Amino acid sequence: MSSLHGFGLGIVSENAQGTVLDTFYPQPVAQVSSELSSVLSGVSGRLDAAQLEALSQALKAAGDSAGAGLAMQLAAAEGKVVATSLAENAPPRSVEEAYLKLHLISHRWVKPHETDLTGLFGLLPNVAWTDQGPVDLEELPQRQLSARLKGSVLEVSSVDKFPKMTNYVVPAGVRIAH
């Protein structure tokens, strides 16, 4: 099997209708070896705890202890977990693929000008980036009211297609001020 361009296990945030707002990939991998690609073959989409535990065992057997550990951690996640594979450096086709490409760039595993981001802007929804994660703009007024009814405030830091990178990745060796 040929190697994958990229792979990531991530936690998905959705709105009330199930539309993906963002995906957080804690340990994305670029230029996956052919050996590891064969283990990951067919691993894609939403994964439940049992699937993540099986994947963890397969990754451990293949010598990927970091990936195995991440899969076990994600098996206990309260959110929805997704596996995203990029067979080649092609335009992203989903929000999950778009975020994987952004994570690969932010982790400095791939170079921005060598990564096909064609159509990325059109894939990503405008969302309110809050202290509780992304919130669909149509759901924002109710979420703000719910917070106020509990005596707190939902802090909105921006409304955009792109979040603050530092909420996802803090690259080594850089200084970032807000």
Predicted structure pTM score: 0.92
Distances (CA, A) of 34 to 4, 50, 127, 162: 7, 25, 37, 32
Task: Read off the pLDDT of residues 20-29 as tens digits, 9 standing for 90 and up.
Answer: 999 999 999 9
Longest dimension (CA), the chain: 56
Task: Read off the pLDDT of residues 78-97 as tens digits, 9 standing for 90 and up.
Answer: 889 999 999 999 999 999 99
- Ranges in the chain annotated CATH 3.30.60.70: 126-167
157 pLDDT tier (thresholds 50, 70, 90): very high
Report the CATH fold assignment for 126-167.
Wheat Germ Agglutinin (Isolectin 2); domain 1 (3.30.60)
Please spell the DSSP secondary structure of 71-130, one letter per residue. HHHHHT-SSEEEEEEESSS----SHHHHHHHHHHHHTTSS-GGGS--TTHHHHSPPEEEE
CATH 3.30.70.2010 fits 6-123, yes or no: yes
pLDDT score at 2: 64
- Ranges in the chain annotated CATH 3.30.70.2010: 6-123
